[in-house]
Amino acid sequence: MAPGKDNMSESVSLLTQRQLNKFIREYNIPSDLDPVLPSKDETVYPFRRGKFPLYTRVCNFANYRVPFSRFLIRVLQFFRVHISQVNPFGLSRVNHFEISCRALDQKPDLNVFRYFYEFITAGDWYTFAHRKGIPSPSSDERSSLKNWKDNFLWLDDRCLLDDMRWRFKDQTMSFDLGEDFVFNRDLARSLIEHKSPIRPLHEHFLLLSRVCFRWSQGDRVWPVIRRKRDRKFRPFSFPLAFSFNLTDSCFLENAGTIMSLLDALKVPSFDVLDFDLEDQVEGEVPLMKQVASSAQEIRPVLPQDAPEHTAAEITSSIPQSTADQDQSSIPWHLHL
């Protein structure tokens, strides 16, 4: 495979079946989306009808999971770009922004995201870059990522919007902020004040920030984040004979304080954190029901006997030249 950023038409997947199986298990990829290994000569572009290439780095570097968050899909809609065309650095910035907003108990705001980031080309791919002269909402991030183009799988595109289309180089890149641009300045200031590093995150972060929507622990268990030193003297480690001598205040102190998502994101190293589980409070809405509204819906499987015109309507298109399509007819609804 040729090096550089201009080799999409030559990029093939080097994943093995064993690696794919491990990836599916580790990142809980829905089996009904039929994840399959590309053949050795199948390139990212063009892709199979009804499928799209999912880079493994979307999950293990950019911190997204399948199904995707509705905010991510909204960003892609606004900029009229397919998820397979945005490199992992760009997607990681969308993810970090979304998680940072959730940590502040705010909904992610597209205009605030646009205030911080601009949409640019990156060779055959696209990305989101920090706007010059604007303070960054992140304190640090990786600047290089080797071989990310070499690892992708085919996945049913039912987890995307049915009108998600491929962006071509002759399409407009005019997304500048006009004089009448309005955004939530309070949220922007808070994001700058509470900036944190962009880095791969533990599943607990993703669950608590509503970018992960599959939880193998069940409805009665809740993910919590503590500092390791807070668990050093947990009450259950004492002999039973001493348990009645513990005061309530001592019990609470030794049991450890659950860290807020905001504070946990800012620790220099996750080695100091303990990713714990707690029984859910009786009567509390289960975690997956709480986060469900933030997930992009997966479209139902098309019946085998469906009419041909119906299949064309609900299956995203194979990339084609803009000369062959009327760009003005493509809807780009903005909804959460």
Specify the residue for token string 């509470």.
194
DSSP per-residue string spanning 35-96: -BPPPTT-BSSS--TTEEEEETHHHHTT---SSPBHHHHHHHHHTT--GGGB-HHHHHHHHH
Whether residue 208 contacts residue 226, with contact meaning beta carbons closer than 8 Å, is answered with no
Q: How many residues does the chain have?
A: 336
Write down the domain spans for the chain.
16-203+294-329, 221-279
- Cβ atoms within 10 Å of 336's Cβ, excluding its own: 13
Q: What's this model's pTM, rounded to 2 decimal places?
A: 0.84
Q: What is the pLDDT along the chain (336 residues), one digit of tens a residue?
A: 445 788 888 889 999 999 999 999 999 999 999 999 999 999 988 888 899 999 999 999 999 999 999 999 999 999 999 999 999 999 999 999 999 999 999 999 999 999 999 999 999 999 999 999 999 999 988 878 888 999 999 999 999 998 898 999 999 888 989 889 999 999 999 999 999 999 999 999 999 999 999 988 877 889 999 998 755 444 443 333 333 343 444 434 444 588 999 999 999 999 999 999 999 888 889 888 999 999 999 999 876 655 554 444 443 444 444 443 443 333 333 333
Chain-centroid distance, C-alpha 308:
33
